[in-house]
């Protein structure tokens, strides 16, 4: 069965059980300060679980784009080295919001895997939460009893809180879970060691494929558990692993999800996949990373120098470097994989198809700029390693790693990886120290020196009249000078002002201060400690004079609002 068919079969199976298909939420998270990327299918349903929001449908099925490269769930170092971790992966899920619970979740999971996908029952194991004293939680007897009806008891494994109690983070919705594992080893290997003993032991052929979470608690910040107002189901199946199991492959990368990409790289490099371990890692890194890069760009995250953008840049540079060193790609190559992303994933995730050209362009530009310095950086690193070897040293200093980062754009994990390949380690603390030093330097450089307020007239209080007028006859109460690298800037406060100060997304007004002899530009207006501060190009020659303050009318975004309406209404009432 092809991957596309496996995915649609999942959705159709749950549709036949009254589930509504919903599209994946974006892989880039914009409204949660604790999360940069979607790392689990349940992220978008958090509020529905907590009871803060009414779920739109009681039953939902989806395929969620997830990325696990930062934070609590972090797989980046494993990716490409092994055959079953990914940066970006799809999580197939079925969801119940206060509707069905353990019985149906368990029965349907088993039906789909064994009857629809026809995975052999004697290769599957399931696990049940054994309970936890600290949290005062009993064993999940209910789940055990449902499993017992369909699975021989010797295939049910009891699991600890670590594996069988799912939590999104330190706080939030959580609950006991049942995982389904599959043993993909050969018959011979299976005879020698029981699969049951290898579950949850990092065996590359005995892997978890599906996690059924029974959401019933909210973990509060004091560590305690509170019952949720309703009980829910959150299941997550690793799509790439499922495809591998159904297609009888020993690696996720041997499936039709990745092989078209590997074939392309084989053709381009003239090297074959499966012949050399180092080259194979490079193939896997690239075909994994191109997905993460393309999907995040499609969802609006461009590579950059901080936060989520830097995560993407790091992933991209890791891929470029592997291609450069092990597949001899000296020119940009990643972007050429974009059409394959579009044809292979465009149906289920239309955004990668719609934005194919844009994605390719962004990737190509990033590659071009990194390749410009990669060669020099690698040569420098070779020289450093040779020098260290000559001195019998094995640690690359933080200063060197920082120089590579600063001058050649080498992310720390890339330098660390190259160091390890040569049997060296890296002084990460020293790197962090250098980084901090640089931050302090640039902070100092951008710092400005704010002078004291100079009083011109007594502070009689500031009158904002901008809701009703765009002009006023005013005088300056006080002013000050702000010096920074770019020169002097001036701020002043007026006794009466029609200028609206920037706030709540509305930009500050601009305009002029006009006296008989001068016309001074007001470039911005901002609120500071309840004062309306005007940013002007220069100080008036005589600040004690009166000025006509005029707002640029054409550009003004402030229109009549409730304040003006109330004011007008009150005057009207007074007249009555």
Residues that bind ligand SER (CB under 6 A): 40-42, 93, 166, 211, 213, 234-236
- Residues 6 or more apart whose CB falls under 8 angstroms from that of 122 comprise none
| Phi and psi torsions of 212, nearest 5° | -105, 110
Q: Least CB distance from residue 93 to ligand SER, whole Å? A: 5
Nearer to ligand SER among residue 236 and residue 398 (C-beta) = 236
Residue whose entry in the numeric block shows the structure tokens 């999971």 = 109
Q: Least CB distance from residue 531 to ligand SER, whole Å? A: 49
Q: Least CB distance from residue 60 to ligand SER, whole Å? A: 12
Q: Least CB distance from residue 47 to ligand SER, whole Å? A: 15
Nearest of 525, 494, 497 to residue 509 by alpha carbon: 525
Cα 186 from Cα 344, distance rounded (Å): 30
Q: Least CB distance from residue 23 to ligand SER, whole Å? A: 17
Cα 571 from Cα 78, distance rounded (Å): 71
Nearer to ligand SER among residue 176 and residue 377 (C-beta) = 176
Nearer to ligand SER among residue 92 and residue 501 (C-beta) = 92
Within a 10 A sphere around the Cβ of 496, how many other Cβ atoms? 17
- Residues 6 or more apart whose CB falls under 8 angstroms from that of 480 comprise 450, 451, 452, 453, 454, 490, 491, 492
Residue whose entry in the numeric block shows the structure tokens 């996690």 = 211
The DSSP letter of residue 451 is: P
Cα 11 from Cα 19, distance rounded (Å): 8
Nearer to ligand SER among residue 143 and residue 492 (C-beta) = 143
Within a 10 A sphere around the Cβ of 462, how many other Cβ atoms? 16
Give the residue closest to ligand SER by C-beta: 236
Q: Least CB distance from residue 427 to ligand SER, whole Å? A: 35
Q: Least CB distance from residue 68 to ligand SER, whole Å? A: 9
Contact 399/415 with Cβ under 8 angstroms?
Answer: no
Say how many Å lie between the first and final Cα of the chain, rounded: 81
Q: Least CB distance from residue 508 to ligand SER, whole Å? A: 45
Contact 58/99 with Cβ under 8 angstroms?
Answer: yes
Nearer to ligand SER among residue 252 and residue 342 (C-beta) = 252
Q: Least CB distance from residue 78 to ligand SER, whole Å? A: 16
Nearest of 418, 434, 416 to residue 426 by alpha carbon: 416
Q: Least CB distance from residue 100 to ligand SER, whole Å? A: 16
- HSE (side-chain half, CA atoms, 13 Å) at 334: 35
Q: Least CB distance from residue 119 to ligand SER, whole Å? A: 19
Nearest of 424, 449, 417, 305 to residue 366 by alpha carbon: 305
Contact 78/35 with Cβ under 8 angstroms?
Answer: no
Nearer to ligand SER among residue 90 and residue 366 (C-beta) = 90
3-class secondary structure per residue, 347-395 = CCCHHHHHCHHHHHHHHHHHHHHHHHHHHHHHHHHHHHHHHHHHCCCCE
Q: Least CB distance from residue 196 to ligand SER, whole Å? A: 21
Nearer to ligand SER among residue 182 and residue 360 (C-beta) = 182
Nearest of 306, 393, 473 to residue 314 by alpha carbon: 306
Nearer to ligand SER among residue 167 and residue 552 (C-beta) = 167
Bridge partners, residue 512, by sequence: 521, 550
Nearer to ligand SER among residue 7 and residue 321 (C-beta) = 7
- Residues 6 or more apart whose CB falls under 8 angstroms from that of 63 comprise 7, 10, 11, 24, 90, 91, 92, 93, 239, 348
């Amino acid at each position: 069965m092809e991957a596309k068919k496996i995915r649609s079969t999942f959705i159709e199976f749950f549709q036949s059980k009254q589930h509504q298909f919903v599209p994946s939420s974006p892989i880039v998270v914009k409204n949660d300060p604790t999360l940069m990327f979607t790392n689990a299918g349940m992220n978008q349903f958090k509020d529905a679980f907590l009871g803060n929001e009414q779920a739109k449908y009681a039953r939902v099925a989806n395929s969620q784009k997830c990325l696990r490269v930062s934070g609590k769930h972090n797989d980046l170092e494993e990716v490409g080295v092994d055959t079953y971790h990914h940066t970006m992966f799809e999580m197939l899920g079925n969801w119940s919001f206060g509707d069905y619970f353990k019985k149906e979740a368990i029965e349907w999971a088993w039906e789909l895997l064994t009857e629809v996908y026809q995975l052999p029952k004697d290769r599957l194991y399931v696990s049940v939460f054994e309970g936890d004293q600290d949290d005062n939680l009993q064993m999940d007897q209910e789940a055990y009893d449902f499993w017992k009806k369909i699975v021989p008891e010797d295939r049910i494994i009891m699991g600890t809180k670590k594996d069988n109690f799912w939590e999104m983070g330190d706080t939030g919705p959580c609950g006991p879970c049942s995982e389904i594992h599959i043993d993909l080893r050969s018959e011979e290997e299976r005879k020698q060691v029981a699969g049951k003993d290898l579950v949850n032991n990092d065996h590359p052929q005995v892997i978890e494929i599906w996690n059924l979470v029974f959401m019933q608690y909210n973990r509060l910040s004091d560590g305690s558990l509170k019952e949720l107002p309703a009980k829910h189901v959150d299941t997550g199946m690793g799509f790439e692993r499922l495809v591998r199991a159904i297609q009888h492959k020993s690696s996720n990368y041997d499936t039709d999800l990745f092989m078209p990409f590997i074939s392309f790289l084989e053709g381009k490099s003239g090297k074959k996949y499966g012949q050399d371990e180092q080259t194979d890692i490079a193939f896997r890194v690239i075909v994994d990373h191109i997905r993460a890069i393309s999907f995040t760009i499609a969802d609006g995250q461009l590579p950059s120098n901080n936060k989520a953008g830097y995560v993407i840049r790091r992933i991209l540079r890791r891929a470029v470097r592997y291609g450069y060193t092990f597949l001899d790609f000296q020119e940009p190559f990643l972007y050429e994989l974009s059409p394959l992303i579009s044809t292979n994933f465009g149906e289920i995730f239309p955004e990668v198809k719609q934005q194919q050209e844009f994605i390719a362009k962004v990737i190509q530009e990033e590659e071009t700029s990194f390749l410009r310095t990669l060669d020099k950086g690698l040569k420098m690193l070779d020289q450093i390693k040779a020098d260290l070897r000559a001195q019998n040293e094995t640690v690359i200093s933080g200063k060197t790693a920082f120089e590579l980062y600063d001058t050649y754009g080498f992310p720390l994990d890339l330098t660390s990886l190259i160091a390890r390949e040569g049997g060296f380690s890296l002084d990460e603390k020293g790197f962090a120290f250098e980084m901090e030093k640089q931050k302090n330097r640039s902070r100092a450089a951008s710092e400005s020196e704010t002078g004291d307020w100079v009083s011109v007239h007594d502070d009689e209080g500031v009158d904002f009249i901008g809701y009703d007028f765009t002009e006023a006859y005013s005088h300056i109460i006080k002013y000050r000078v702000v010096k920074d690298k770019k020169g002097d800037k001036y701020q002043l406060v007026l006794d009466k002002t029609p200028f609206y100060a920037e706030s709540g997304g509305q930009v500050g007004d601009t305009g002029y201060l006009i006296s008989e002899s001068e016309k001074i530009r007001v470039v911005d207006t901002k609120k500071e400690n309840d004062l309306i501060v005007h940013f002007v190009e220069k100080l008036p020659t005589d600040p004690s004079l009166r000025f006509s303050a005029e707002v640029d009318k054409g550009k003004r975004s402030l229109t009549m609002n409730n304040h003006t309406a109330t004011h007008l209404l009150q005057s009207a009432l007074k007249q009555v």
